[in-house]
Amino acid sequence: MFVSTMAGAAVVLMGAFYALFYALGKLNQHRLSLLASSASYLGLAFATFMLIDALQLRGIWLLVTAVMLVGYLLAPMAIWRLCVDIHDDPTVHPREDEINVRRLITRTR
């Protein structure tokens, strides 16, 4: 029971560290942070395998854990891409949109 509890906690922590270091590495262009994110993902994979062994997961549960690992791998990359696409779009400026809406409202009066 102790091993499964610690492995479950390690899955959550390593997943959080992976996302954190990935975002910091992309934001600051630091290779060391990206390396730390890769090490965190390896720690996540190791903790997942420990959890599989401790809980003696078989059958469909192996597929669930594999999908979880793939999701943990791809989610920070997808979220980063989404943020970059949204915030780098020069046509999206909330204040300009507000001004345009106000102009439209005053024209219709």
Instruction: Quick: pLDDT tens for 48-90.
Output: 999 999 999 999 999 999 999 999 999 999 998 888 877 766 5
| Residue-level pLDDT at 1 | 81
Residue 4 one-letter amino acid: S
Q: What is the pLDDT of residue 72?
A: 92
Q: What are phi and psi of 2, to 5 degrees?
A: -65, -45
Q: How many domains, the chain? A: 1
Where in the sequence is the domain holding 63, given as residue range(s)? 2-108
* Dihedral in degrees, nearest 10, Cα atoms 68, 71, 72, 78: -170
